Amino acid sequence: MKLDVVVPTYNRSFLLRKTIESLLSASVPSGLEVTIIVVDNNSKDNTRDVVLELQARAHLPIAYVVQTLQGLSHARNAGIVAGTGELVGVIDDDEEVAKHWFETVAREFADPEMQFIGGPYLPNCEVPLPAWLPPGYNGVIGIVEAKPRQLFGESFPGNLQGGNAVFRRAVFERVGLYDVQLGRSGKGLLSEEDAEFYRRLLAAGLRGFHVPDLAIYHYIPASRLTRQYHRRWCFWRGVSQGIADKKRKENVRYALSIPRYRIMRGIDGFFDIPRNLFSRSASGMSFARELFFWDLLGFVYGKHFIQIGSYYANQRKT
């Protein structure tokens, strides 16, 4: 089997180096041919120099692709299209793969019925995790706990995260690529591209598993371990979901073109804001309720105030 590992990157050469070195250090089993495809999404730092340096001494081929259209989904798609492997892996530029990552890929795809796999994001924190972290919001900082091996589907708690996933190339021929109207671009934190792609996988009846030993270590900087970042991330997730709702509505009751449950929990969350702003002893549960308000605010903005074409045109200028 041949595996292409797509690594989108934007202005994070210091982390990208560690990502690529982890891939070069991982054990590649006999019968698996690996190519690393780095997609430079308009970086202004020394990303190109880092890739060229690593190319010169690497024992695995490293391809360097430039994608001028700004956005994570654009970059992922460019890497997928640039490869030729039967398998396509996607990781992010702030991750390091576990030593047995390639061995896990080879083992799982020895099953001809396997179409895709995903795995946990283990935290690699710059500073200790704060006590106020809200339960149920691990996605804000990019932690995915290792669960027992489990089939992806309606009963799975969560979805397939695109920063640690491997697919048969035929999957993209079946369901298409990542939605370029979603995903991070410029300074925005649009984030619904993984959930939207996951829904397409399930709708197509494709078979995939959460595999606990397909592990990566995700770098979490101190700047993400703040209440301000959590509020901003939840607002932009709401924007993403509001944009997605224009195409595919939830199967729930709506009021003013907004799901009623979002309105109710957002109103409840509004009244937790003063407590979380002014009390050092505010609990993680209180902060979790407040974040419903920012989700609602973002959803309304994305649903009613963003014209997606002009939004992305502006983001590409940043």
User: How long is the chain?
Assistant: 318
C-alpha to C-alpha distance for 134 and 198, rounded to whole angstroms = 25
Q: Which two tokens stand for residue 242?
A: 């509001």
Structural domains of the chain sorted by starting position, each given as residue range(s) with its CATH number in brackets: 2-224 (3.90.550.10), 227-315 (no CATH)
CB of 42 closer than 8 Å to CB of 70: yes
The DSSP secondary structure of 97-113, one letter per residue, reads E-TTHHHHHHHHTTSTT
Output the pLDDT for position 313.
Answer: 43
From the centroid of its chain, how far is CA 176? 17
CB of 33 closer than 8 Å to CB of 1: yes
C-alpha distances in Å from residue 142, one per residue of 83, 131, 190, 225: 27, 17, 14, 11
Output the pLDDT for position 187.
Answer: 52
Per-residue pLDDT of the chain (318 residues; tens, 9 = 90+): 999 999 999 999 999 999 999 999 999 999 999 999 999 999 999 999 999 999 999 999 999 999 999 999 999 999 999 999 999 999 999 999 999 999 999 999 999 999 999 999 999 999 999 989 999 899 899 999 999 999 999 889 888 999 999 999 999 999 999 998 776 655 555 567 898 999 999 999 999 999 999 999 999 999 999 999 999 999 999 998 998 899 889 999 999 899 999 999 999 999 999 988 877 667 889 999 999 999 999 999 999 988 755 444 444 444
Please report which helix (H) or strand (E) contains residue 90, including its range: strand 87-91
